[in-house]
Structure 1
Amino acid sequence: MGKDYANKDVLCETDWVNDNLNNPDIKILEVDYDVENAYKEGHIPNAYMVWWRKDINDDSTRDIINKQQFEQLMSRLGVKKSDELLLYGDFNNWFAAFAFWVFKYFGHEKIKIINGGRKKWESENRPYTKDEPPQNQSVYKASAPDEGVRAYLEDVKRALRKQEVGLVDVRSPKEFKGEITAPPEYPMEHAQRGGHIPGAKNIPWVQALNDDGTFKSAEELEKLYQGHELNPDQHIITYCRIGERSSHTWFVLKYLLGYPSVKNYDGSWTEWGNMIGNPIEK
């Protein structure tokens, strides 16, 4: 029998979801980058749409939504503080993991990611619908932000000075080496310079997944990260280009492996690579 994840209550399998589509105690949210070619073309029955670009990001500030905006989103979706949320989406749950991180930042307690996301649900030919569930407005009050899960520019600079923090660059090897500044399937928001933050270890986010989009076993994940000399005793900061892929690795390290001190640097390479004076490596 294999080793269990540190937190088994943050994942749910597609067969369980299929058996609970009408469960009044859960609320299913599909979080997509490409809403037109994902959610609107078909989604899990009773799933509500969360548009990554417009619903959990503030375009005017290049930042995640603030506490008031988060409360408005949750209220519009009819979410109550006691609800259990099931998140899934396109791009192998990149954006579902980002939403998980934002929702935890604002203190929502009961959240699961559907293991395998849209990819696995589709491969199993499970039911889809184009019908959107009814909107039942709620009054949601968020907690104060949990800064323990978020890293900022100064945190990364401090980490470089003290050299006590493990920096994990989860982008592709070509991005890490500075050969390209954005992945080919997701080409927007380039940085002025290519490369990586000095001392960062390159562990691409996709290495944590099986071919069907599900997460690898606890043993395989431990071997992956400890093979790069990352261990639970360290403070760890994950980053990518705009914070969505790194939230996926943040989820793996913090929740599946139980590392106690992991932060997601959502400013990531578009901030670091564009700042005057910031050192880079290639």
Structure 2
Amino acid sequence: MTTTEQLGLIVEPKEFFEWLQDADTSNLLIVDLSTDENYSRAHIEGAIYLPFKYLMAGQPPAPGKLPGKEQLQEVLSQLGLTPDTHVVTYDDEGGGWAGRLIWTLDVIGHTKYSYINGGIHAWLKDGLPVTNEIHKPTPTQYTVGELNLAPLASAEEIMESLGQENFQVWDARTPAEYSGEKVLAKRGGHMPGAINCEWINLMDHQNGLRIRDDADEYLQSLGFSRNQNIVAHCQSHHRSAFSYLVGKKLGYNVRAYDGSWSEWGNLDNTPIEV
């Protein structure tokens, strides 16, 4: 019988499906972060639906910030998480919301998780079975202890680090947002020295939105390296959660700024380039 210890950070759809055929699933939790409509239409058997909004504080001007401990405990308890649970997650967009869940698990110190590469798009492309039967979780009493702040960056930390050798900002937004052509806050533009790598550029759009095979080479061609301290952001730390996931997979030293541009672009004292 196979166990969850055999699952890595990134698991291919066929690999996971085959693993399920002879697996001990007693400590397994499959979490689907697709839209409600797409989950209702087709999802992996046994998957529990988690609305992505529950992973965000939801308070303006930076709604993407990490929720408080009380909210996290409520969400994770309703999800059925335990300290021994291995979470396997996916979504319907190539990894943004699934990455957000993995980042959240890192922050609370829960390190047992996997991402289904490409999510439901890759699963369907591989011809694997789906269901529309709703699977309800068994609630637990999960306790969030002391947070692991290592994956988290603040505006103050970024301002102190800008211009330092080996510090790099990864801007996962669109080129129009990066340039300031499209403004989604009080001020538009980008952080000084930030490298723009839009999140969708790391997906293989011909192969079910899997992480592209040459992601490492592509990132290095843009100027990223493993000896940098990287902070990823987008508008609300949704797109940059995929950047965080890919960076983690490739062994980059990457953190995430949950305030993202919705906070940075609405502050008066933050440096901005256009």
Please, what TM-score do these two structures have when normalized by structure 2?
0.88
Aligned to 1:233: 227
Distance across 2 between alignment mates of 1:108 and 1:229: 31
Letter in 2 for 1:214: R
Aligned to 1:178: 180
Indicate which of 100, 121, 124 corresponds to 2:123. Answer: 121
Aligned to 1:271: 263
Letter in 2 for 1:107: G
Q: Is structure 2 residue 213 aligned with structure 1 residue 213?
A: no
Query: Offset at 1:83?
Result: 1.1
Aligned to 2:3: none
Give CA-to-partner distance per residue, 1:57-110, whole Å, 9 cap, x none.
222463322223222222212221111110101221211101110111111111
Query: How many residues end up aligned between the 2 structures?
Result: 260
| Percent of paired sites with the same residue | 26
Aligned to 1:153: 155
Distance across 1 between alignment mates of 2:58 and 2:224: 34
Contact 2:163–2:193 (Cα < 8 Å) also in 1: no
Letter in 2 for 1:98: R
Letter in 1 for 2:41: E
Contact 2:14–2:128 (Cα < 8 Å) also in 1: no
Give CA-to-partner distance per residue, 1:170-214, whole Å, 9 cap, x none.
112121111223xxxxxxxx3122211111011112222212211
Indicate which of 25, 28, 42 corresponds to 1:26. Answer: 28
- Range with bigger deviation, 149-158 or 269-278: 269-278
Stretches of structure 1 that go unaligned for 5 or more consecutive residues are: 1-7, 182-189
Aligned to 1:15: 14
Distance across 2 between alignment mates of 1:64 and 1:86: 21
Aligned to 2:47: 47
Q: After TM superposition, what 4+ stretches of structure 1 lie above 3 angstroms from structure 2?
A: 161-164
Contact 2:92–2:119 (Cα < 8 Å) also in 1: yes
Distance across 1 between alignment mates of 2:41 and 2:193: 43
Aligned to 1:186: none
Q: Is structure 2 residue 249 aligned with structure 1 residue 256?
A: yes
- Where 2:232 maps in the other structure, the secondary structure is strand
Aligned to 1:245: 239
Distance across 2 between alignment mates of 1:203 and 1:59: 25
Distance across 1 between alignment mates of 2:245 and 2:145: 20
Stretches of structure 2 that go unaligned for 5 or more consecutive residues are: 1-6
Aligned to 2:197: 203
- Where 1:113 maps in the other structure, the secondary structure is strand
Aligned to 1:88: 90
Contact 1:67–1:144 (Cα < 8 Å) also in 2: no
Structure 2 vs 1, CA of residues 278 and 134 (structure 1 numbering), >3 Å: closer, same or farther? closer
Contact 1:246–1:264 (Cα < 8 Å) also in 2: yes
